[in-house]
Amino acid sequence: MNSHLDIFSENGYLVVQDALNSEDLEPIISLIVEVVDKRTHEFYDQRTISNIHADMSFERRWYAVLQECGRENEVFGWHTLVYSEALFNLITNRKVLDIIETLIGNEIQFNGDFWVRPKLPNEKLTTLPWHQDSAYMPNTEADLHLTVWLPLVDVNTVNGTLQFLPRSHREGLRTYHRVEGEAFAVPEIPPTSSHNDIHTLDMKKGDLLIFNNLVFHRSLLNRSETIRWSVDFRYSRTGTSLDGLWHEAIAFPAREKENKHCPTSWNNWQMLWNTSPHKDRFL
Ligand SMILES: O=C(O)CCC(=O)C(=O)O
């Protein structure tokens, strides 16, 4: 068993090492650096902070700013703040789509869902419990939806990497419920009761993770002193129903047949975005 498809079908997830280089990742990192800078200056102008922490690195600055105001992230991930041409170019990156193509063929749609996650040290909000992505995407369990997850810094057990329960995607979607005081829905029957085999990912910046909408995964607490930045977005075979998903309005075809051509331009995506009803709901 060694092809991408074999490993993915067996485990429900796949890590491709060195899939992207710094030329692929730098534009989204620069965009995040700009967003952090803008938000920092907003806090400074409101006199919420007295230091803009300009000398701090990508891995530290946002945390230093929030610590100075005694705050944590308001939300588990950034959406509208990071909507950009840099993000579009990453979602339509030829290397990313080539890997997706090995799993679902050459007619690929981007599902419209994307997040940049500033996972802070010791932060509960961004520590996701065991879940399957279909628990958050109603009526998707009968189809295959792929999450691409890219670490923007090296990730490991210390700074809150992801863990997977290999093969758990074969057992269908569990029932979820809300627990008082918890931000996320959790499965009524904890998956670890039937799975002892937990895979803990150790990934470098440039590695690419893809996972199935039914495989159980979670993210660990970030026990480091720095921010675990990552970006994730979702795809499916063109024509797979996205009915009723909040991000359907900003989905687009990303690859057509044999010619590896992306039929959608940045301008096309901007038109969808500008008329979509959801964008004011998210940070
Ligand atoms: O990035 C994380 O910490 C969690 C990501 C995740 O669980 C997901 O995208 O479904």
Q: For 96-109, how does the pLDDT look when each residue is reduced to its tens digit (9 = 90+)?
A: 999 999 999 999 99
Residue 176 lies in a domain: yes
pLDDT under 70: residue ranges of the chain: 1-2, 193-195
Residue 51 lies in a domain: no
Nearest partner of 82 among 52, 117, 57, judged by Cα: 117
What pLDDT, on the 0 to 100 scale, is given for residue 2?
66
What is the distance between the alpha carbons of residues 36 and 52, in angstroms, rounded to a whole number? 10
Supply the residue whose CA is at minimum distance from atom 8 of ligand 1.
Answer: 133
Residue 69 lies in a domain: no
What pLDDT, on the 0 to 100 scale, is given for residue 111?
98
What pLDDT, on the 0 to 100 scale, is given for residue 183?
76
Nearest partner of 153 among 54, 81, 224, 66, judged by Cα: 224
Domain that includes residue 195, residue range? 4-22+76-281
Beta carbons of 246 and 41 less than 8 angstroms apart: no
What domain count does the chain have? 1
Supply the residue whose CA is at minimum distance from atom 2 of ligand 1.
Answer: 219
Residue 56 lies in a domain: no
What pLDDT, on the 0 to 100 scale, is given for residue 156?
98
What pLDDT, on the 0 to 100 scale, is given for residue 68?
95
Whole-model pTM: value is: 0.96
Residue whose entry in the numeric block shows the structure tokens 């709901």: 281
Helix (H, G, I), strand (E, B) or coil at 201: coil
Residue 34 lies in a domain: no
Counting atoms of ligand 1 from 1, which one is nearest the CA of 117? 1
- The C-alpha angle 77, 247, 27, rounded to 5 degrees, equals 50
User: Distance of CA 242 to CAs 112, 146, 154, 218, 250, Å?
Assistant: 9, 13, 32, 24, 11
Residue 244 lies in a domain: yes
Q: For 163-196, how does the pLDDT look when each residue is reduced to its tens digit (9 = 90+)?
A: 999 999 999 999 999 887 777 888 988 887 666 7
Q: For 238-266, how does the pLDDT look when each residue is reduced to its tens digit (9 = 90+)?
A: 999 999 999 999 999 999 987 788 999 99
Residue 137 lies in a domain: yes
Residue whose entry in the numeric block shows the structure tokens 């806090």: 43
* Tokens, residue 111: 């599902």
230 CB within 6 A, ligand 1 = yes
- DSSP class of residue 161? -
222 CB within 6 A, ligand 1 = no
Residue 61 lies in a domain: no
Phi, psi (deg, nearest 5) at residue 95: -70, -40
What pLDDT, on the 0 to 100 scale, is given for residue 194?
63
123 CB within 6 A, ligand 1 = no
Long-range contact set of residues 67-72: C-beta below 8 Å, sequence gap at least 24 = 69/43, 72/120, 72/123, 72/125
127 CB within 6 A, ligand 1 = no
CATH classification of the domain holding 237: 2.60.120.620
Q: Which amino acid is at 240?
A: T
